[in-house]
Structure 1
Amino acid sequence: MKGLSISKIRPPRRWGIGTVLLMLCALVGTALSAIATPDFSGTVDVVPLNTQLGAQIYLQRCGSCHLAVPPETLPTQAWQVLIQETNHYGAALEPISRPELGPLWNYLRTYSRPLPEDSQIPFRVGRSPFFRILHPRVQVPQPVTLNGCAQCHPKATLFNFRELSPQWLDSP
């Protein structure tokens, strides 16, 4: 190679490709963080990151057909049966896929409480002792219906059970 000096050969501009990739990753990350991340600030308990995927699956699977009640309202044993049943109170459901089942069960198990072994498992919120514990001074209309929750919890459809209707704000 006549007339070509080694000092005139430039190394490839790898930093340019790296910079473009870094900017692309930042853009995608920003877009993904803006996509429908539920606000769990109104839930009964704080939902940390390690259970938020299960909470999202719960809201998508259960909250798309009816009001999704906090896991605290039913015992652990009831949730364990409910998420595996395909006959859900007379409605035929598709089974929950294995990849969804793990995080969903982790979320429900974390926020529910087990009943003593000799107890009958309630599969209705109004029959659950934990529902009664969460509502100690409330005269709950009978029968308890999921739609009735919104009378006292106006943002229940947004999975916010901390915000109460004005009549309950100053109640004892």
Structure 2
Amino acid sequence: MLNFLQKLQQWGRRFSPWKTVGLLLLGGMAIGFGLAIALQTAPALAQGVKALDPVPPEFTLRQQVYVERCGSCHVAIPPALLPRERWEELIQRPEQHFGVNLRQSHGDIRALSNIDIRLMWDYIRATSRNAQIRETLPTQVSSSRFFRALHPKVAESCRTLAGINCPDRITVQTCSVCHPQASDYDYRTLAPGWELGL
């Protein structure tokens, strides 16, 4: 203890009171800044989007572009439903998107630009999951292990419960059967009969 007090006295002789006050202020500001970051509230969703998972503010534009551009042909599915590696294949080859060339306009739907693709890929990469080693990449959403994990009782409920409307085949076109607000990227709102957590 005596050694510590001696060193403290030596330190005090080397620094003027102004330097000490300045260091204390700088240290206090650093601690305050760190606390402000640590106590920051949960990330906000893009305006009007009721996604399953919130995204950080720097991804809201990317999410909006993804929802707008993908949602112009079919519902924009949450990227977490497919492995990141499948998304990478889809994004890298927009000319071969299930038989449609996304680089060309189709009626009212404008072609994807490089900027659209980059923004969409940034969002998808940040919100999708990796495939397992040697996992066969699914070609359809319904064959994805992530889809099956998030919908564990759907097949059984379709067979056993009366009054529940189930599609014959699950595609991105049929998401709205169970998720009536899917076109607004709202997968939390469920159709009647499904709200029991099936």
The TM-score with structure 1 as length reference comes to 0.71
2-structure distance, mates of 1:135, 1:128: 11
DSSP 3-state at the match of 1:43: coil
Task: State the shift of 1:48 in Å.
Answer: 2.4
Partner residue, 1:89: 98
Task: State the shift of 1:100 in Å.
Answer: 3.0
Matched to 1:77, the amino acid is E
DSSP 3-state at the match of 2:74: coil
Question: Which structure 1 residue ranges, 4+ long, deviate > 2 Å from structure 2?
Answer: 95-103, 140-143
Partner residue, 1:161: 187
Partner residue, 2:55: 47
DSSP 3-state at the match of 1:91: coil
Query: Residues 22-43 of structure 1: CA distance to partner in whole angstroms, max 9, x if unpaired?
Result: xxxxxxxxxxxxxxx7422x21
C-alpha contact (below 8 Å) 1:74/1:123 kept by paired residues: no
Partner residue, 1:148: 174
Matched to 2:149, the amino acid is I
1-structure distance, mates of 2:47, 2:74: 17
Name the stretch that deviates more: 116-125 or 70-79: 116-125
C-alpha contact (below 8 Å) 2:179/2:188 kept by paired residues: yes
Relative contact order: is structure 1 or structure 2 higher (C-alpha 8 Å, sep ≥ 6)? 1
1-structure distance, mates of 2:89, 2:190: 31
Residues 18-167 of structure 1 correspond to what in structure 2 (within 5 A)? 38-40=47-49, 42-85=50-93, 86-94=95-103, 96-139=112-155, 141-167=167-193
Structure 1 segments unaligned to the other structure (5+ residues): 1-36
Relative to structure 1, the CA distance from residue 76 to residue 103 in structure 2 (aligned partners, 3 Å threshold; closer, same or farther) is same
C-alpha contact (below 8 Å) 1:84/1:96 kept by paired residues: no
Structure 2 segments unaligned to the other structure (5+ residues): 1-45, 104-110, 159-166
- Percent identical among aligned pairs is 38
Task: State the shift of 1:72 in Å.
Answer: 1.1
Superposition RMSD on alpha carbons, in Å?
Answer: 1.9
Aligned residue pair count: 135
DSSP 3-state at the match of 2:174: helix
Query: Residues 33-78 of structure 1: CA distance to partner in whole angstroms, max 9, x if unpaired?
Result: xxxx7422x2111122111111112122211111111111111001
